Structures are given as structure tokens and as C-alpha cells.
Amino acid sequence: MLRRLLGIVIAVALVVIVWLRLPIRIFYRDGRPTRIGVLVNRVGAVYSALGLPPAWWVTLETRGRRSGRSVSTTLVIGSHEAENYLVSMLGEESGWVRNVRAAGGQAVIHHGRRRSVVLEEVAPGQRAPILRAYLRRARGARAHIPVSPTAPLAEFARIAATYPVFRITRATSRGQVRSHPGSPATISG
């Protein structure tokens, strides 16, 4: 078990190092992951599902809008004013965004443990500070979102309608939604 875990950690470390050094077009083209991008996402999903650090790197599981099967995507949780958010670095056409919308926001976040959540879409007028906080954390998203993480909020407001943002709330046992403030570690671990 320990050898397997160590092997996974080393594999993910190598993937991340390579990912940071290679041009982004190798992983994504036309808003969709390439074969290499799919492989990197799968390795990242296994890594985050094991609950390994960082706590804000999670696997989002949604029901495929066409297939009905579970679809996993590795994402970074952005945090702003004690709330946690998921941001689509690829914009409106991202598969996970369409799946979440088709499922009425129902999803599962996996980081060590699985948590049923409801993702509530944030209005474009409220996205700017969340996008800035997200970009400060998600280095890989910087190649996709054409604003510097240190830019003024006005620049983020200009592009906010292009990048969907979802507030993470926890689903209760009776199907009700409960606001879930706190650190990303609270959600994922």
C-alpha cells in the first residue's frame, strides 16, 4: 500500500513538473483537453481523491448530461470571504459546467472523502473578486484567463461573464442546501 501511494505521489509530482514547463496548448485546445490533458486530469483526480495535499485541489464528480455516467474532473477550489468556489478556467463551454447545470447543481467533491454538494452559480456582477482570488491560487488557470492575478477588480469585472463561477454549498441528508463557509480543507477533508 505504501509503495503504491509513493508511486502515485511521484507520478503526480512528475506530471505537475512537466505541466508547468510545457506550453498550455499541449494540454488544452479549443477549450477542450487534449489526450495528454485527459491523462493529466485522470492522474490528478486519483491524487486528489486520495486526500493528498493541497486540500484545495479536488475531484469534482458530476453526472454526464448525455451519458448519465459519473464524470470526474480535477479542479482548484477558490476561496473568497470565507466561501468556497469552483471556477471554469475554460469558460462556458467546459464539460463540467454543462454537466453541473444539467444536474441542477448536484455534484460530489472528492478529496480523501466524498461530499455531496450543490453548486450555485454566481451572477456575473459578483464574480470579479472571486476570479481574482481564484487566479492567485490556480497557477494553471493563468494561461486561460487573460488577466493578471494582481490586476484591478475592474479588469476582472470586464471578463466575468465569460468564466462561470459556482459557490459550493453542502447538501444535507434531506436534500436541503446548507451554506458552507470555511476553508477548502473543511470541504475536502
**42-84 tens-digit pLDDT:** 777 777 777 777 888 898 999 988 888 888 888 999 999 999 9
Phi-psi region of 183 (alpha: psi -120 to 50; beta: other; left: phi over 0): beta
pLDDT number for residue 108: 95
User: How distant is the alpha carbon of residue 79 from its chain centre?
Assistant: 12
Q: How many CB atoms neighbour CB 99 within 10 A?
A: 22
pLDDT number for residue 181: 44
- What are the domain boundaries of the chain? 54-188
Q: How many CB atoms neighbour CB 86 within 10 A?
A: 24
142 phi and psi angles, rounded to 5 deg = -60, -30
**154-186 tens-digit pLDDT:** 999 999 999 999 999 987 554 444 444 443 433
**85-133 tens-digit pLDDT:** 999 998 998 889 999 999 999 999 988 889 999 999 999 999 999 999 9
pLDDT number for residue 20: 58
Q: What are the CA-CA distances from residue 90 to residues 29, 42, 129, 144, 160 (Å)? A: 10, 17, 18, 6, 12
Q: What are the CA-CA distances from residue 132 to residues 76, 96, 139, 145, 153 (Å)? A: 13, 21, 12, 10, 7
Q: Is the pLDDT of residue 21 over 70?
A: no
DSSP 29: E
Tell me how many degrees the CA angle 176-166-107 measures, rounded to the nearest 5: 50
Mean model confidence pLDDT for the chain: 81
Task: Tell me the percentage of the chain whose pLDDT exceeds 90.
Answer: 42
Nearest to 24 by CA among 14, 9, 34, 12: 34
Q: Is the pLDDT of residue 19 over 60?
A: no
Q: Is the pLDDT of residue 23 over 70?
A: no
- For 44, residues 6+ apart whose C-beta sits below 8 A from its C-beta are 12, 15, 57, 59, 74
DSSP 73-109: EEEEEEEETTEEEEE-TT-TT-HHHHHHHHTTTEEEE
Please state, in angstroms and rounded to a whole number, the distance separating the CA atoms of residues 132 and 94. 20
Please state, in angstroms and rounded to a whole number, the distance separating the CA atoms of residues 87 and 122. 10
Pick the more confident residue, 141 or 122: 122
Q: Is the dihedral of CA 115, 120, 81, 49 positive or negative?
A: positive
Nearest to 110 by CA among 77, 134, 67: 77
pLDDT number for residue 85: 97
Choices 3.40.190.10, 2.30.110.10, 3.30.70.100, 3.40.50.1110: CATH for 54-188? 2.30.110.10
User: What's the pTM value of the predicted model, to 2 decimals?
Assistant: 0.74
